[in-house]
Amino acid sequence: MTIAFVPAPESPFATLRQFAKKRSAAEKCELCKIDLVPEHQHLLEPAARKLVCACDACAILFSHREGAKFKRVPRDVRFLRDFRMTDGQWESLMIPIGMAFFYDSSVQNKVVAFYPSPAGATESLLNLDSWKEIVEDNPALQNLEPDVEALLVNRVNPTHGFSGAACFVVPIDECYRLVGLIRSNWQGFSGGTEVWQKIEGFFGDLRRKAGVEDERSDA
């Protein structure tokens, strides 16, 4: 399964819908064609904004290889329990909703910000001065691996089942999984009950992968 993130007129990442489709029972490594297990690894081609599926053996070949066509997407998820960001700092980032991901693009040579929407992943014009201030307050962000690791921030209103802000360092494919989930399940103006349940489940899954307890609100 090749997932190409090529900007289209109606959406910056129109082909993200492919990521939301059910995988075939016999999905194969796109390099050596061996059968893959459902929870397999991904490689990223930064220049084409494309994810490809890979077996463990092929993925290892691209670990920390400078100048290679592909980059291995890490698998670790880290919950930033002590993440510091004020409401004013968030507003200065000019993100129109309470959810976004940020990563260092080696192609664009800058940090970029995207937020998920019913139309796909939408780029926000990031205020770099504000971002630098947030990085200074949170040293963990200084070590994000370019292209393949992102800060994922969820500041969705607690009425949707979340308690406060939740911030994670995640593999970039998790961000695109969230975008695909929202795009394929959104209904009407507010999204509908089903999509918010799936989003809640997505962040609960991230907490499990990060080894922390689920802190959802009962509100």
Residue 63: domain span: 2-72
Whether residues 145 and 186 share a domain: the answer is yes
Structure-model confidence comparison of residues 159 and 115, the more confident one: 115
- pLDDT score of 63: 87
Stretch 139-155: mean pLDDT: 95
Q: Which of 72, 90, 105 is the last residue before a domain boundary? A: 72
**What is the signed CA dihedral for 112, 113, 118, 119, rounded to 10 degrees?**
-30
Q: How confident is the model at residue 159 (pLDDT cuts 50, 70, 90)?
A: low
pLDDT digits (tens, 9 = 90+) for 186-195: 998 888 999 9
Whether residues 105 and 47 share a domain: the answer is no
Whether residues 51 and 147 share a domain: the answer is no
Whether residues 131 and 195 share a domain: the answer is yes
Whether residues 89 and 150 share a domain: the answer is yes
Whether residues 100 and 58 share a domain: the answer is no
How far is Cα 171 from Cα 199, in angstroms, rounded to an integer? 17
10 in any annotated domain: yes
- pLDDT score of 70: 95
* Predicted TM-score (pTM) of this structure: 0.82
Please state, rounded to an integer, the average pLDDT across all residues of the chain. Answer: 84
Q: Number of structural domains, the chain?
A: 2
